[in-house]
Amino acid sequence: MNGARSPPPPYNALMRENDFVSWISNQMPTSPLVPIGIGDDMAAVSTGLSISNPAARPFVLLKIDQALDKVHFDSATHSPRQMGRKAVNRCLSDCAAMACRPRAILISVALPDTATEAFARELFLGARDAAAVFDCPVVGGDTAVWNQRLAITVAAMGVTGNQPVRRCGAKPGDIVCVSGLLGGSILGRHMGFTPRIALAQKLTEIADIHAMMDISDGLAMDFPRLMKASSCSGVIDAAKLPVHPDAHTLSQSDGQPAWRHALSDGEDYELLFTIPPSAAAGLVGVQSIQADVPITAIGKVSSEGPLKLLLPDGSTEDWPRGGWEYAGTGDAK
C-alpha cells in the first residue's frame, strides 16, 4: 500500500438518492434570503433587497426537475408531445405539493443527434400545452444536441398568497390523507396525469393542512420522507389505501396484492398530507373539491417509534421497503 486514495466509486455504488440529497443539504450554508432551502418540494427565495426581518419579505418558490429517456419515459413507445408534457407536469406537481401557483416555466433539452426538427417541435408543444393548463407560460430555456438519450430539465417559479405548505409541519395525532387512487401508474397514467394544483389550492382554503408533498416515488418511499421532515412517526392502514383499477390489473398478472402496488409502484403524482382530526370529517370522501378526485384518510401520525403498516388481516409490520429510488439502474419508471 502506498497510501494513495482509491478513486471514489460511481454514484450509484456510493450512495442512493435520499442519502446524496441529504449530504448536499448539509454542505449548503444557510441564508436569511432563503427561508425554505433544500428538503421541501420547492425552495423559497426572498425578493427583497434588505436582509432584515426575512419572514416579512415577499418570496418566490423555485423548483428544477429532470426527465430522462429510459428512466421517466421511453422514446421508443411514447410520443414527443407526451414526453414534453410529462416533463413539465412533474415539475408542476411539486408546485401542487406546496400549494403554490406556477407563474413561469424554463426548459432545457438535450436532444439526441438522431432527433428531427419535427420531433423537437412536438416536444416543445407538449411542454407548452402542459404549462398552459395552469396559465403558466414557458419563458425561456436552452437546447443542445448530443450523442446520448433525450434529457429534459424543467424549472418552475411559483407564488403563493400565504405561507407555502411544507413537509415539516405534521403533528402527532394528525390524520394522514391522500388524494386520488394509487398504484399501477406504469400502465399509462404516469404519462398523462394532471398535477393537483387546483385541488391543493382548494384544500388549503377549507382545511388546516399541516404538512404536504406529492407522491412521485410511491407512498412506501414518500411517507417516510414526510415523517422524517416533521420529526414524527406514524401508521398507515393498508386496507384503507385507495387502490386504482390499474393496480388490480397488475395484481392479476403478478399475484402481488393490489394494495402493495398502491403502496410501492410510484408515479401517482397525488397529494399526501396531514390534517388535525377536527378537519378530517369534512374532507374524507369529499368528491366535489375536484371532480373525480376522492380524499381518503389512510393513517395517523404519532410522536415516536418506528413507522408501521397495519395489514388487512389486522396484524402490523415495520414499514416496508419499496417505492422508486434512482440508483443507476437505467430502467424506465
pLDDT at 3 over 50: no
- The pLDDT assigned to 329 comes to 40
The residue with greater pLDDT, 281 or 242, is 242
Cell of 196: 393537483
Res. 8 pLDDT band, cuts 50 70 90: very low
The residue with greater pLDDT, 199 or 333, is 199
Taking the C-alpha atoms of residue 56 and residue 249, their distance in angstroms, rounded to an integer, is 51
pTM of the model: 0.89
- The pLDDT assigned to 175 comes to 96
How is domain 11-159 classified at the CATH fold level? 60s Ribosomal Protein L30; Chain: A; (3.30.1330)
The residue with greater pLDDT, 227 or 55, is 227
Contacting residues for 273 by C-beta, under 8 A, at least 6 apart:
165, 176, 177, 178, 203, 209, 210, 211, 212, 213
The angle formed by the CA atoms of residues 35, 39 and 44, to the nearest 5 degrees, is 30
Task: HSE, CB side, 13 Å, CA atoms: give it for residue 168.
Answer: 10
pLDDT at 16 over 90: no
**Candidate from 17-31, 115-129, 207-221, 237-251 with smallest mean pLDDT:** 17-31
The angle formed by the CA atoms of residues 184, 262 and 76, to the nearest 5 degrees, is 25
- The pLDDT assigned to 98 comes to 96
pLDDT at 13 over 50: no
pLDDT at 163 over 60: yes
Q: Are 174 and 274 in contact (CB under 8 A)?
A: yes
Phi first, then psi: give them for residue 108, nearest 5 degrees: -120, 125
pLDDT tens digits along 280-326: 877 766 655 665 789 999 999 999 899 999 999 999 999 998 776 55
**Every domain range in the chain assigned CATH 3.90.650.10:** 167-318
- The pLDDT assigned to 249 comes to 98
Contacting residues for 76 by C-beta, under 8 A, at least 6 apart:
none
pLDDT tens digits along 169-185: 999 999 999 999 999 99
- The pLDDT assigned to 289 comes to 63
pLDDT tens digits along 66-95: 999 999 999 999 999 999 999 999 999 999
**Every domain range in the chain assigned CATH 3.30.1330.10:** 11-159
Q: Are 274 and 170 in contact (CB under 8 A)?
A: yes
Helix (H, G, I), strand (E, B) or coil at 32: coil
pLDDT tens digits along 188-221: 999 999 999 999 999 998 899 999 999 999 999 9
Dump the DSSP string for 180-234.
Answer: S-BS-GGGTHHHH----HHHHHHHHHHS---EEEEESS-HHHHHHHHHHHTT-EE
- To which residue does cell 404536504 refer? 212
How is domain 167-318 classified at the CATH fold level? Phosphoribosyl-aminoimidazole Synthetase; Chain A, domain 2 (3.90.650)
The overall average pLDDT reported for the chain is 88
- The pLDDT assigned to 108 comes to 98
- To which residue does cell 432584515 refer? 52
- The pLDDT assigned to 6 comes to 34
